[in-house]
Amino acid sequence: MPSVAKKKKIHFLITAGGTREYIDPVRFISNASSGKMGYALAQAAKAAGHNVTLISASQMQPPVGVEFVAVDSAVQVFGAVKRFFPKSDCLVMAAAVTDYTPAKPHKTKIKKKNQQLILKLKPTADILRWAGKNKSERRATSDGPRFIVGFALEDKNLRSNAQKKLAAKELDMIIANSPESIGADRTTVQIKTPGHRWLKVPEAEKSTVARRIIKAIEANIARMNR
């Protein structure tokens, strides 16, 4: 009877939720991301027998059995990614990290005045670009490169903008979706890897879509390691 090849256990590093960038101690800039997709991915990866570290800026209850790291801001997400990157095999950046943060947050609450308030913002660090540049860095499990997965939420030119992000940030997979998926329980995504055609995953519960994504990652990592 032919032997069945044992599936390689992958250490997933997954980010989820929308970050908060504080203007003062009580006010912040954020976005509408719920973290549902990232949590569904963490659950699907764990159910598939993999190790999972979940870096979360969401208030949701983490899935049972995953290593959980709570964060709040973009700089905290980046710090956590750098900390756990060495032992990861696959980074999935599902978090909606804010693109800008206040240049000089106020140390005390800003009092309301009868005049305009001008808020200066500066760009946050590009975590995905950093990961793409450093994916071949030596890691605990093996010397091979990590598999880097990014998300692209686009309200127009979905595929073309997502494909530009895939190339520019040296990613191994991009998952494109539209603003309608924010906070929703169901979603439609499109998946692209370099050198392969787009794969459209029809609308379904995020838990179902997450299982499809994890299977696609498993297949690509297996192919990469042959």
CA angle 154, 54, 71 (to 5 degrees): 80
Catalytically active residues, by annotation: 31
Name the β-bridge partners of 93. 15, 150
Distance, CA of 23 to CA of 61 (rounded, Å): 27
Residues 63-100: b if buried by 16+ CB within 10 A, e if exposed = beebeebebbbbbbbbebbeebbeebbbbbbbbbbbee
DSSP annotation of 142 reads -
Q: Name residues whose C-beta falls within 8 Å of residue 104's C-beta, 6 or more positions apart in sequence.
A: 120
Distance, CA of 176 to CA of 153 (rounded, Å): 6
Distance, CA of 168 to CA of 162 (rounded, Å): 10
The closest alpha carbon to 109, from 22, 225, 172, belongs to: 22
Q: How far is CA 72 from CA 17, 19, 20, 36, 96, in A?
A: 9, 5, 6, 16, 11
At residue 196, the 3 state secondary structure works out as: coil
The closest alpha carbon to 225, from 5, 8, 4, belongs to: 8
